[in-house]
């Protein structure tokens, strides 16, 4: 648990950054081998996604009609699709969408879930009961079914996919923060802080959120993994990010028409999803074992 000393606020931004960095290095050092390896795979995937325009051999929508449906070769290591677009380049550009959706959707869930959980836990009573009942409803409903109905209503595009996944994941963070608020409420240092006249918001940011940081980090890592499968599933169904944008789900759907002879179009994006999702899952598992061994957070497939 991250119990910050009251002097935290008095230090400079640089010192605080150093603090976070040294703590991260320390956490990394305690991870098991598979989590360490996963960390570097995740780092590599994120780097490749960010640097896709620099590292991809071709543009994601650059046709080459002479190389239509070409198998894996030196020029096109993962082959090409109907219009001769390079599958490797499209997989690299697809990583940008997957990582973007994963990270932004989880950030959104945290940003909505934290205030809900904090308010519920702080105020208690029927407000808490009402909010938590609402969270239970959302959490208990099959997420893809809900997402399908929501995307169907809102219209399929990148923004709505992120929005829907963010909403679907919100309850978990509300619950985590609420639990943390309830335990912090009991602790003496908050009483002490209240006596010194600290406002509720300050208590929230100085004591409650640092306390809940670890479980949120673990849950967030798992959620990025499931969000990536979630986005791919929606895009595969034609209810997510729309072609011609290169996304893994869209590529797999495109390639189905060319099986079995041009098997590479559908196969490689799926392997990319598997490696990415597995790395996030194993990293999350390692983080949980090290930071939060008693927690019940568990990764699971989005679809």
Query: Which residues of the shown chain bind another protein in the complex (CB under 8 A)?
Result: 133-134, 136-137, 140-145, 148-155, 225, 229, 232-233, 236-239, 252, 256, 259-260, 263, 266-267, 269-270, 273-274, 277-278, 281-282, 285, 298-303
Q: Shortest approach of another protein to residue 150 CB, angstroms?
A: 6
Q: Shortest approach of another protein to residue 25 CB, angstroms?
A: 25
Cα 182 to its chain centre, rounded Å, is 26
- Bridge partners of residue 86, in order along the sequence: 80
CA distances from 19 to 6, 13, 45, 262, 289 (A): 14, 10, 26, 52, 22
Q: Shortest approach of another protein to residue 200 CB, angstroms?
A: 29
Q: Shortest approach of another protein to residue 176 CB, angstroms?
A: 19
- Toward another protein, which CB reaches closer, 4 or 290? 290
- Toward another protein, which CB reaches closer, 197 or 260? 260
- Toward another protein, which CB reaches closer, 6 or 142? 142
- Toward another protein, which CB reaches closer, 32 or 191? 32
- Toward another protein, which CB reaches closer, 86 or 254? 254
Q: Shortest approach of another protein to residue 2 CB, angstroms?
A: 25
- Toward another protein, which CB reaches closer, 57 or 238? 238
CB-count exposure of residue 74 (10 Å: 0-12, 13-18, 19+): exposed
- Toward another protein, which CB reaches closer, 211 or 221? 221
Give the whole-angstrom CA distance, residue 96 versus residue 212.
29
Q: Shortest approach of another protein to residue 33 CB, angstroms?
A: 11
Q: Shortest approach of another protein to residue 96 CB, angstroms?
A: 18
Q: Shortest approach of another protein to residue 249 CB, angstroms?
A: 8
- Toward another protein, which CB reaches closer, 211 or 297? 297
Is the distance from CB of 219 to CB of 172 less than 8 angstroms?
A: yes
Residue with tokens 């061994």: 293
């Amino acid at each position: 648990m991250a119990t910050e000393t009251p002097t935290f606020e008095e230090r400079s931004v640089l010192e605080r950054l150093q603090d976070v960095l040294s703590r991260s290095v320390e956490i990394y050092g305690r991870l098991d081998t598979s989590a360490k390896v996963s960390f570097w795979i995740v780092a590599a995937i994120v780097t490749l996604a960010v640097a896709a325009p620099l590292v991809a051999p071709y543009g994601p929508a650059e046709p080459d009609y002479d190389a239509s449906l070409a198998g894996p070769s030196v020029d096109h290591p993962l082959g090409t699709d109907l219009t001769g677009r390079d599958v490797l380049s499209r997989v690299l550009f697809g990583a940008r969408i997957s990582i973007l959706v994963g990270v932004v959707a989880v950030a959104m869930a945290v940003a909505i879930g934290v205030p809900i959980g904090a308010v519920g836990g702080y105020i208690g009573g029927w407000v808490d009961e009402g909010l938590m009942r609402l969270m239970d409803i959302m959490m208990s409903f099959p997420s893809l079914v809900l997402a399908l109905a929501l995307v169907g209503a809102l219209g399929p595009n990148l923004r709505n996919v992120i929005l829907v996944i963010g909403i679907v994941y919100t309850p978990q963070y509300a619950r985590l923060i609420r639990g943390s608020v309830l335990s912090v409420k009991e602790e003496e240092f908050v009483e002490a802080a209240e006596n010194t006249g600290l406002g509720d918001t300050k208590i929230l940011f100085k004591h409650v959120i640092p306390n809940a940081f670890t479980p949120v980090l673990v849950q967030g890592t798992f959620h990025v993994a499931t969000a990536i499968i979630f986005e791919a599933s929606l895009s595969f169904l034609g209810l997510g990010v729309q072609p011609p944008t290169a996304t893994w789900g869209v590529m797999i759907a495109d390639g189905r028409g060319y099986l079995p002879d041009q098997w590479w179009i559908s196969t490689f994006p799926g392997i990319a999803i598997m490696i990415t999702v597995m790395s996030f899952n194993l990293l999350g598992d390692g983080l949980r074992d090290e930071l939060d061994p008693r927690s019940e957070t568990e990764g699971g497939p989005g679809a």
